[in-house]
Structure 1
């Protein structure tokens, strides 16, 4: 996994602050491969909320992570726990690693 311990801590902390302590966050994508270089930070978050509320919180999390981690490419996929799973959600669940 190509995130430092401090980066993982910041992500967990901010996800809990923005989405609540019941939310879960997984890292998926190219950052899981230690043999690669570069790549964006792909985060998959499961939380409760309405689509509008979850979008507001996603944008808040994105801006906070940019400030705390530096100007990086960060992709955030949020799944409402009550909604059906889309292919990207299944992929992130299957291949991602819990932070």
Structure 2
């Protein structure tokens, strides 16, 4: 995975701070390929409770993590009980690596 240990720990901390609850954070997509270069960071945030404003939560986390990783683009996907589960969620859970 093309993240440092420090970045991984900080991403989980940011996710917990923004959601104000424990979360599971998974990295999926091109960042799992150690031989690749560049690319965005795809994160799946798993929560057990509904979220009142998922778009705002995703945007806040994306912006803060982007700053942490020197301005790289960050895509945040949420899996929560009050949102529709799509095939991309299954891929992210199956192939993603928890931080």
Moved over 4 A (4+): none
Aligned to 2:53: 53
Aligned residues: 98
Looking at structure 1, the residues matched to 22 and 75 of structure 2 have their Cα atoms a distance apart, in angstroms, of: 21
TM-score by length of 2: 0.87
Deviation by residue 1:36-65 (Cα, 9 ceiling, x = unmatched): 111110000112324x51211111111222
TM-score by length of 1: 0.87
Q: SS of the residue aligned with 2:35?
A: coil
Looking at structure 2, the residues matched to 33 and 90 of structure 1 have their Cα atoms a distance apart, in angstroms, of: 19
Q: Would the alpha carbon gap of residues 83 and 54 (structure 1) be closer, same or farther in structure 2, given more than 3 Å must change?
A: closer
Give, in angstroms, the shift of residue 94 of structure 1.
0.2
Give 5+ residue unaligned stretches, structure 1.
none
Give the conservation status (yes or no) of the 8 Å contact 1:40–1:73. Answer: yes
Q: SS of the residue aligned with 1:3?
A: coil
Give, in angstroms, the shift of residue 70 of structure 1.
2.0
Give, in angstroms, the shift of residue 84 of structure 1.
4.7
Give, in angstroms, the shift of residue 5 of structure 1.
0.9
Looking at structure 2, the residues matched to 34 and 68 of structure 1 have their Cα atoms a distance apart, in angstroms, of: 19
Aligned to 2:74: 74
Aligned to 2:19: 19
